[in-house]
Structure formats: structure tokens, C-alpha cells
Amino acid sequence: MSASAAPALPGMLRDNPRLDQWVRFTRPGQVTVSTGRVEIGQGVLTAMRQIAAEELDVAPERILLQTGDTELTPNEGYTAGSQSIQFGGVALRLACAEVRGLFLDHAASQLGHARAELSVDDGAILHRGQPTGQDFWTLAAMVDLAREATGRSPIKKASEHRIVGHNLPRADLADKVFGGAAFLHDMTLDGMLHARVVRQPRRGATIRTIDEAAIRRAAKGPIEIVRDGNFVAILGVDETIVEAAAAVAPGYVAWDNIEALNPFQEEARWLLQQPSIDKTYGPPPPADPAPAARSYEATYTRMHIAHASIGPSCGLALYRDGHLQVWTHCQGVYPLRAALARTLKLDPAAISVKHVQGPGCYGHNGADDAAADAAVIAMRRPGQPVKVRWRREEEFGFEPVSPAMVVTARAVLDDSGKPADWTTEIWSGRHTSRPGGGGNLLAAEALPDPPPPPPAVEGPPPPGAGTRNGEPLYAFPAKRIVHHLIAETPVRTSSLRGLGATLNVYAIESTMDELAERAGQDPVAYRLSVLTDPRARKVVEHVAHMSAWHAGLPAGTGKGHGIGFAQYKNMAAYAAVIAEVEVDEIVRMLRVWCAADAGLVINPDGAINQLEGGIVQGTSWALKEGVRLDENGISSRDWEGYPVLRFSEVPEIAVELIDPATDRPPLGVGEASGGPTVAAIGNAVAHALGARIRDLPLTRERIMAALLRT
Amino acid sequence: MQSIAFNLNGKPVSVTTDGDTPLLDVLRNHLGLVGSKFGCGLEQCGTCMVLIDGEPAKSCGKALSTIAGRSVLTIEGLGTPERPHPLQQAFLDEQAGQCGYCLPGILISAKALLDRNPAASRREIAVALDDNICRCGSHARILRAVERAAAQLREGVSR
């Protein structure tokens, strides 16, 4: 590389290269910082504030954070994939460092001091530690930030950090704890109409008859009905009346072209008989089958999993003077704008999309659809704000779910009982079907001339989608992933926290325990014998230490412990989890320990909160969750039909971060603990029972069946 | 249409509407108190929890007509940023939350428990919160926060 060659800018900075897209000095004493990343419950805004404050050398309170707004913030695509800090934060960090450097350059020449003698303290320019009378705001008019980032300004070393690495409290928590209007759901606008959509039961269903008069009679007050093609909405000023009418309305609409669904498809094995798009990543499989004594093969499954956000999806829209304003809690305001432009046949410039916080989001849920519902209705009621809030049944019944999966792990063992050849074969519906391309918005599918469903396409690992974490991090001489992507699924599927990693890690880590047993070795020692990455070894060793892991505890006693490990996406944070359980007819979680290496950690308590959340959600997936189907679609439409982990079922949890104040770059942590947790529970339950359950969730019926096998 | 009077967060209020209107809708839409959240409308998740005459109740399933003459406490009446209830302070101190949508209902359930049993054990706290769902997985922190508030309340009593 020649001396003049610019360093490669991180993607987000390359896409949004102008420094004033990230940082502006608008008012004395205040810095406006923009991030395309949005708060979805993960605390990312607090971390972004810390990053900017650190590199700019200003107090965090001075930062006015703009987030997720097509009018104000950089286009960073989606807030997804545990990438906000690893990619978005790194871009912001470089931009802020460069801005600070430009101010110091200017101050040096204006004040006639050596650049090296200048520093910044809370926005004030100091010379040899003494005030110069200049600060960011006095100089702001003379430093042109309307220029492209070079990425050349040095960022601070961890040893210099004063804000990064500390537990800055969440700025958004107080409003929530004191009952403020913290969420989109709480937002009202003058003259706002409440609306509900009568959903198409299935894609392609058409209305045979609709008895609008009966719906009006059933309503306990005035409502309006909007209909276009197969899109039907009920609206009015009184939400109670609209909600009650929406609850009975499906009984007054008769549909044609409803393809009946096979309830058998709620379990995953039907995937094995489906046409698929097949790809192999890695070397070709061995030509000759290995002798039985040297080979291992087992198949693992899980059902569809729901996001099951605590609050149903919501959208708010206002069409006025030829411009559509949309408020949404989705993960990507720019892609949603593009999808709405396609759906509504509007110029994207005629649409503004702004993020407002919503209930916890773990992937592509119903938020985009609810925004589209509101937008479609608002276009037909110019000048009137329209708020759509999904009903609970609607949320469970129509959000995109995480696809059911089947994974076969296959190993050929060497003389010492370690895999010489490894295959992870995956059958799965799509894990990505976001609406940015214009398809896959429920409202668009109900309107006349619906778009085709988005094509089933998934990128290669890493990071992959269904193939995510399909490659074990272990040092096996030959590893491959065989992926069967099934395009046609009974219900709409898309991204949920962890994507394919959850079952892939479950299958790999279950196999590791079984191979350890075959080799007569302790599961922790066996893993360490095939793990060369020092950071991976460290989390495994550390979690074993945390839990006071004892090798050789007998199996089948009703009490067990198990370990699970993965580096999320094989490129984000490393996490090792140990679970301790008691099993009689059901699994009782006792304790969970987690050690994680996330590189430089911006806010350690925030990272631990995310890892804890992944452990609880992973526990819930492992023990309880599976979407139920009947011939009409998803039949688990409330919290009784789709139970999740409750307070008294949550284990004691201990999480520790390895070397969080490192100069290594940050690694995304939000999805790191889920897969290892599910795997650790599976191994602990197998240890407790003396028999393995290969199908998730680990229900009472499956435990009883496993006990009969022992 | 009925005019129904009750006590809300220590003050008398009167609302004129259909008596079948769920209390949650009355709070959020008629009175502008949006702290109590809609989660399911099925009395299953606890995001809409309020106290009615000191007892925890899911306001999505309580018709306004059943509230006449009674006392309702919502999250807005628990405390303020200036004068936080020990539970609210403890939730902030423990950073007990992720998205925060479930927190108002959980704070109300926790208040009902600690009013009844300020010496509640961790197990008793967990069981009392089983009526509330937290989907983000902030349970460990929430339990710690309630324990912290309970300790503080006990200290306050003994002083």
C-alpha cells in the first residue's frame, strides 16, 4: 500500500461519507450526533452517545442524539444482526475522531500553537491544559464539516477512555419507569383516527363477500370502513369502538382462494420432503462412507418460533399536502420508505419515515406491516393522522415467524475420537424476507396488483442466515455446510434473533457432548482439545471456572449440567454458557453462567443486560416455544397458546465479560448468548436424564418419552 | 353513556362514556394517562396492571362501570422523577429493563406485593410477578430491583 492510499472506510462511513451527516454543532454547548441505528430495547442509543462523547471529548449530556429518521440521519440499512456497535458504532467513532481532529487542526493554526500541545476538554480547546477561550462552538463556523471522511484520524486507545467502558445509565429508562409516553403506541396527534385491519387469512385469499352493514351494526358507535381490493380496515375516533368492531369483523367476511394448511407442518420434519435450493459451502464430502465405529450422525429439529413481542405492532401515518409522514418502530426507516414508495406508487422523496421506540424487537416482526397498514389508510384520509395498533391475535397470527428447521450433524472420527471430517446439513425456510424490496408487506399483498413474494435468497456464511454458525469453530481438518433453502413455507418466515444459529449451535454442541462421551472425555476438556482460537478457549475455560465445573459427575441422576459455546456468526462476540438443571417431568432451571468476549465493550452493564436477555429468551425457546398451526394458519394466538418463560421459571444468572477494556474492536453481543444457552440446556438435560432429546422445545411429553428410552 | 366517578391516583375523576369501556382505554384515551400499556387485551400479560383498592388488576379486562366509587392507582401515581417511589428508584439503580414496555405493569405488581409483604423473599417476588410477562429477559435485574426496594422500604419503616 502506498503512503498516500486512504485506509478503507468502514461500510457505514463509505455509504454516508460526509462528516456533517454524523456530527453537527447546532447550538452553543450542544452537539447533534446522528445515527441510523435505532433503539429497539437493546440500549444502543446509550452506547452511541458514549462513543461520540468519548471521541469528541464532550460530556455525554451535551449530545443531542438523532436516530432513525429519513430526514435527519445516515442511511444505515437495518438495526439488526448484532451489527450496531461492531459496524455503526465504529463508523460513528471514526467520524467523531475526525471531527475532533479537524477542530484541533483549525485551532492550532488560528491560535498559533503546536497541534500536539492542544487538547479538548468537554468541548473546550486547551493549550498545555490551560483554557484558550476557544471551543467547538466558537470555532464551528470556521470548520467545514460538509466534507468527506478520510478515516485517517486516530481513535483513542482503551487506556485513554473516560466514557467508553463505563456504565452510563440508559437515558430512556426513566421515562418508561415513570409512565411517560415513551412508545409509538403512546403517541397521539390532533384529529387522529384509530384503525384496525381485517387481515387476509392467507396470502392470495380474496374476498367473496363482506357484510359491511353487519359490521357497522355490531359496532357500538360510528366507524368507517375502508376497502381496496382485499384490504379492509375499520377506523374511527374512538379506539374502543374500533377495537370491538375489529374483533367481530372477521366473522362477516367470507374469503375465497384460501389454501388449507397441513397442521403436520408445525413440526419441522416435513422440510425434508420439500423442493429446495441447495448449496454446499466447504470441501466436497468424503467419497466412501466411514465405518460405523468411526462415524456419527444425528438429526435435530425445532418448530417455528414467534417474536412474541410484549406489545403488538403499531404504525402511525399522516398524508398531507402530497407528503406522507410515517412513524414506526421498525428496524430500518430507509428500507421501509423504499417499500412504501413501491406499494403506494409514491416518489420516496414524498415520504418521510421516523423511528419511535416500540416494545422489544428481536428481528423482523410486524412493525413494518403495521406502518404500511397505517400508510395505506392515511393515503385515503388526507389530512387525518391514522394510528394502527395490531390486536394480540393479529400479532401472533400474522407476524413473520422464525422458520422451523432440521439440522443433521455428521462426523467422521479419527483414531482419537475427534472429527476428521464434519458436515452440518441444514433444511430451513427463509430467515430473511424483509420488505425493503417492496414485497412482503401484508397491506401490499391485500391491495390490487400485489407484488410477487420476495425471492428466497440468502447470503453465504459467514454471516449466513439459515447457515449461520453452521460451521463449528472447532479445528476439524475438513468442515462443510450443506444448505437446503426451502422457498415455500406454510407461514411467512423471516429474521428472529440468532436466525439459523440457534438450532445449528444446538446440533453442533449436542454432537460435541455425544462425541466427548464416546471418547470417554469430559465435555469441557474435549472441546478444549479441538479449540485453537485463544479467545474461544478463554470463554470456555472461564465459564467452567465460574461454575466450578466438575468433570465426571454421573449422568441420569435427575440433575445435570451442560455447556454450549459459539462465536456468533463466526465473526461477532464469543459466548460460552453453562446451565445447571433439575429434570423430573419438566426441566427446572437452577443456574446459568456465561462468559463472553465482545472485544472492546462500550457499556459493560448494557452488554451484560443483552447477554442476560439472550439467556432468558434462549431458555424460553429451549423449554417452551413452538408456533402451533392448524389448517387456517397459526393457531397459537395468545399467551396461553404460546407460553413463554415466566419470572418463577428464570434461573439465577451470572455473566462475565472477558477483557472488556481491550484495544480489540467491538464485537456484536446482542445475539451471542441465545444459541449457546439452548445448547447448554440441551446438554444439561441429556446429562440429567441420561438420554438426549433432539427435538425442541424440551417439553414434558418429550422428557417422558426420553425417560422411557433409558 | 354513563358518568362514572372514581378516585384516580388520589384525585377524584369522572368519565362520561359507555360503561363497558375497558379501564385501560379510559386511562389511555379519555384521561391521557398512557403509562399503563396495552399488551394483549386478554388479561394474560400484565402490561396494563393497576391497583384497584390496593389489589393488582389487569385494567384491559375491567369495565369502567365496575370501577365506580373505587380507588385506582396507576404508574403515574406511584412516583415522579422528583419524588420517585423506592421501586422506581431501584429499577433505575439496577438498570432493570430493556425495552421497558412491561415495566409499568411490573412496578405496579411489585408495589402490590411489597404493600402486603415488605419482607418478600426472592421466590415470593418471582411468583408475584408471574402475572407479568417480560419478553426481553430483564428478569434477573427486575428481581434484584424489587429486592433492593423491599430492603429500602423495610429500612424506612424501621427508622
Residue A220 CA to residue A365 CA, distance in Å, equals 31
Look at A392 and B92 and tell me if their CB atoms are within 8 Å: no
pLDDT for A387-411, tens place per residue? 999 999 999 999 999 999 999 999 9
Residue A528 CA to residue A99 CA, distance in Å, equals 45
**Residue B63's Cα: distance from chain center in Å?**
17
Last residue of a domain, one of A169, A196, A216: A169
Amino acid at A457: V
Nearest to B103 among A42, A176, A181 (CB): A176
Look at A179 and B132 and tell me if their CB atoms are within 8 Å: no
Reduce the DSSP state of residue B5 to 3 states and report it: strand
Q: Which of A334, A333, A374 is nearest to A356 (CA)?
A: A333
Query: Choosing among A38, A167, A170, A176, which should be mutated to test the B contact, i.e. which has the most B CBs within 10 A?
Result: A176
Residues 6+ apart with CB under 8 A from A299: A406, A407, A408, A409, A694
Of the given ranges (A147-156, A179-188, A352-361), which has the lowest mean pLDDT?
A147-156
Which band of pLDDT confidence, cut at 50, 70 and 90, is reported for residue B158? low
Residues 6+ apart with CB under 8 A from A60: A49, A50, A53, A163, A168
Mean pLDDT score across all residues of chain A: 96
Residue A404 CA to residue A274 CA, distance in Å, equals 13
Task: Tell me the torsion sign for CA atoms B35, B39, B41, B45.
Answer: negative
Look at A360 and B107 and tell me if their CB atoms are within 8 Å: no
Assess A639–B contact: CB distance below 8 Å, yes or no: yes
Residue A246 has which C-alpha cell?
Answer: 375489529
Contacts of B100 in chain A (CB under 8 A): 41, 172-173, 176-177, 182
Residues 6+ apart with CB under 8 A from A497: A362, A363, A614, A617, A670, A671, A674
Q: Which of A480, A440, A433 is nearest to A460 (CA)?
A: A480
Burial class (CB in 10 A: 0-12, 13-18, 19+), A166: middle
* Matching residue, cell 428447521: A405
Annotate A529-560 with b (16+ C-beta within 10 A) or e (fewer): bbbeeebbbbbbbbbbebbebeeeeeeeeebb
Q: Distance of CA A613 to CAs A183, A618, A651, A692, B93, Å?
A: 20, 8, 12, 26, 18
| A410, A384: one domain | no
Give residue A436's pLDDT.
Answer: 79
Give residue A438's pLDDT.
Answer: 67
* Matching residue, cell 397521539: A188
| A152, A188: one domain | no
pLDDT for A364-392, tens place per residue? 999 999 999 999 999 999 999 999 999 99
Residue B159 has which C-alpha cell?
Answer: 427508622
Assess A222–B contact: CB distance below 8 Å, yes or no: no
Last residue of a domain, one of A138, A169, A200: A169
| Percent of residues, chain A, with pLDDT higher than 70 | 99
| A508, A583: one domain | yes
| Strand A23-24 relative to strand A31-35, pairing | antiparallel
Q: Distance of CA A485 to CAs A277, A303, B12, B21, Å?
A: 5, 16, 61, 48
| A410, A393: one domain | no
Look at B80 and A178 and tell me if their CB atoms are within 8 Å: yes
Assess A638–B contact: CB distance below 8 Å, yes or no: yes
Residue A305 CA to residue A479 CA, distance in Å, equals 28
- CATH number of the structural domain B86-158: 1.10.150.120
Neighbours of A710 (CB within 10 A): 9
Give residue A379's pLDDT.
Answer: 98
Residue A605 CA to residue A55 CA, distance in Å, equals 20
Contacts of B39 in chain A (CB under 8 A): 310-312, 392
Look at A310 and B101 and tell me if their CB atoms are within 8 Å: yes
pLDDT for B54-96, tens place per residue? 999 999 999 999 999 999 999 999 999 999 999 999 999 999 9
Total domains present in chain A? 3
Task: Tell me the torsion sign for CA atoms B112, B117, B118, B122.
Answer: negative
| A158, A245: one domain | no
Residue A69 CA to residue A580 CA, distance in Å, equals 44
Residue A520 has which C-alpha cell?
Answer: 470417554
Residue A525 CA to residue A369 CA, distance in Å, equals 48
Of the given ranges (A79-88, A422-431, A459-468, B124-133), which has the lowest mean pLDDT?
A79-88
| Strand A419-429 relative to strand A405-413, pairing | antiparallel
Residue A47 contacts residue A85 (beta carbons within 8 Å):
yes
Query: DSSP assignment, residue B27?
Result: I
Assess A357–B contact: CB distance below 8 Å, yes or no: yes
* For B43, nearest residue in chain A (alpha carbons): A639
Assess B23–A contact: CB distance below 8 Å, yes or no: no
In a domain, A2, yes or no: no
Reduce the DSSP state of residue A542 to 3 states and report it: helix
Q: Which of residues 270-299 of A touch B (CB under 8 A)?
A: none
| A322, A243: one domain | yes
* For B79, nearest residue in chain A (alpha carbons): A178
| A16, A83: one domain | yes
Q: Where are the domains of chain B?
A: 2-78, 86-158
Closest chain A C-alpha to B33 CA, distance in angstroms: 8
* For A651, nearest residue in chain B (alpha carbons): B140
Question: Looking at residues A457-478, what average pLDDT do you find?
Answer: 97
* Matching residue, cell 435485574: B141
- 3-state SS of A96-143? HHHHHHHHHHHHHHHHCCCHHHEEEECCEEEECCEEEEEEHHHHHHHC
Give residue B156's pLDDT.
Answer: 80
Contacts of B91 in chain A (CB under 8 A): 173, 177
Give residue A7's pLDDT.
Answer: 59
Q: Which of residues 99-128 of B touch A (CB under 8 A)?
A: 99-104, 107, 123, 125-127
Residue A221 CA to residue A710 CA, distance in Å, equals 62
Question: Looking at residues A138-149, what average pLDDT do you find?
Answer: 96
Q: Which of residues 358-387 of A touch B (CB under 8 A)?
A: 358-361
| A385, A527: one domain | no
Q: Which of A480, A477, A468, A473 is nearest to A424 (CA)?
A: A480
Query: Choosing among A166, A168, A175, A177, which should be mutated to test the B contact, i.e. which has the most B CBs within 10 A?
Result: A177
Neighbours of A580 (CB within 10 A): 22
In a domain, A270, yes or no: no
Q: Where are the alpha helices (DSSP H) in chain B?
A: 23-25, 75-78, 86-93, 103-116, 122-128, 139-158
Mean pLDDT score across all residues of chain B: 96
Reduce the DSSP state of residue A167 to 3 states and report it: coil
Residue A536 has which C-alpha cell?
Answer: 474461544
pLDDT for A201-258, tens place per residue? 999 999 999 999 999 999 999 999 999 999 999 999 999 999 999 999 999 999 999 9
Assess B84–A contact: CB distance below 8 Å, yes or no: yes
Assess B139–A contact: CB distance below 8 Å, yes or no: yes
Assess B64–A contact: CB distance below 8 Å, yes or no: no
In a domain, A278, yes or no: no
pLDDT for A608-647, tens place per residue? 999 999 999 999 999 999 999 999 999 999 999 999 999 9
Residue A413 CA to residue A572 CA, distance in Å, equals 29
Question: Looking at residues A190-205, what average pLDDT do you find?
Answer: 96
ipTM of the complex: 0.97
| A350, A422: one domain | no
Look at B136 and A238 and tell me if their CB atoms are within 8 Å: no
Beta bridge partners of A539: none
In a domain, A448, yes or no: no
- 3-state SS of A660-699? CCCCCCCCCCCCCCHHHHHHHHHHHHHHHHCCCCCEECCC
Give residue A5's pLDDT.
Answer: 47
Residue B20 CA to residue B62 CA, distance in Å, equals 8
Reduce the DSSP state of residue A35 to 3 states and report it: strand
Assess A612–B contact: CB distance below 8 Å, yes or no: yes
Look at A392 and B41 and tell me if their CB atoms are within 8 Å: yes
Give residue A8's pLDDT.
Answer: 73
Neighbours of A58 (CB within 10 A): 25
pLDDT for A90-143, tens place per residue? 999 999 999 999 999 999 999 999 999 999 999 999 999 999 999 999 999 999
Beta bridge partners of A576: A565, A595
Question: Looking at residues B149-154, what average pLDDT do you find?
Answer: 94
Nearest to B39 among A311, A614, A616 (CB): A311
Assess A624–B contact: CB distance below 8 Å, yes or no: no
Give residue A11's pLDDT.
Answer: 79
* For B18, nearest residue in chain A (alpha carbons): A220
Nearest to A644 among B92, B101, B135 (CB): B135
Residue A248 CA to residue B69 CA, distance in Å, equals 32
Look at A239 and B132 and tell me if their CB atoms are within 8 Å: no
pLDDT for A484-506, tens place per residue? 999 999 999 999 999 999 999 99
Nearest to B99 among A174, A181, A360 (CB): A360
Closest chain B C-alpha to A475 CA, distance in angstroms: 33
pLDDT for A299-342, tens place per residue? 999 999 999 999 999 999 999 999 999 999 999 999 999 999 99
Q: Residue A65's domain spans which residues?
A: 11-169
| A248, A110: one domain | no
| A526, A426: one domain | yes
Look at B42 and A639 and tell me if their CB atoms are within 8 Å: yes
In a domain, A670, yes or no: yes
| A116, A243: one domain | no
Beta bridge partners of A633: A630
**Residue A304 dihedral angles phi and psi, to the nearest 5°:** -60, 145
Look at B142 and A361 and tell me if their CB atoms are within 8 Å: no
In a domain, A299, yes or no: no
Assess B79–A contact: CB distance below 8 Å, yes or no: yes
Q: Distance of CA A330 to CAs A175, A194, A315, A336, A492, Å?
A: 20, 19, 9, 8, 17
Assess B31–A contact: CB distance below 8 Å, yes or no: no
Helix (H) or strand (E) holding A327: strand A323-328
**Residue B109's Cα: distance from chain center in Å?**
5
Contacts of B74 in chain A (CB under 8 A): 179
**Which CATH number do you get for residue A625?**
3.30.365.10
More confident residue, A77 or A207: A207
Q: Domain B2-78: give its CATH architecture.
A: Roll (3.10)
Question: Looking at residues A543-572, what average pLDDT do you find?
Answer: 97
* For B91, nearest residue in chain A (alpha carbons): A177
Alpha-carbon Rg for chain A, nearest whole angstrom, is 27
Annotate B33-69 with b (16+ C-beta within 10 A) or e (fewer): bbbbbbbbbbbbbbbbbbbbeeebbbbbbbebeebee
Last residue of a domain, one of A104, A139, A169: A169
pLDDT for B8-55, tens place per residue? 999 999 999 999 999 999 999 999 999 999 999 999 999 999 999 999
Assess A644–B contact: CB distance below 8 Å, yes or no: yes
